Amino acid sequence: MDSSKICRLVKDQLQSMEVTEIFASIEDEDCIRLEIVSNYFQGMRIIKRIELLSKLLQKIAMNELKDYHLIFNPLTINEKSSNVDETANRLSTDGKQLNGIAAQTNL
């Protein structure tokens, strides 16, 4: 399967999100990286973006792309054009919270 066919499959599944750009690269024999640019992701944490994409792309992941591991790189238009991570402040806070939880569970 080539990257243009993968992009078409993904675009068909994500019609409701007003996707600006999709880039698919086959990284290994069994790994596909999907960069999906849409302002639909604005205000969402990175984990929520990935969960949303996993849910929306579940059908093709289980059928046409079942032989591949999918890696999601969801970006807003601003993040793509200016290389600014809109979730950076939230991610550092989330990381601190996760470290605290991990430390508590290891006690």
Q: Is 50 helix (H, G, I), strand (E, B) or coil?
A: helix
For residue 88, the model assigns a pLDDT of: 63
Domain 3-106 -> CATH class: alpha beta
CB 34 within 8 A of CB 72: yes
Domain ranges of the chain: 3-106
Question: How is residue 63 written in tokens?
Answer: 């059928």
For residue 28, the model assigns a pLDDT of: 83
- pLDDT tens, residue order, the chain (107 aa): 789 999 999 999 999 898 999 999 998 889 999 999 999 999 999 999 999 999 999 999 999 999 999 999 999 998 888 876 666 655 444 444 444 444 443 33
CB 35 within 8 A of CB 19: no
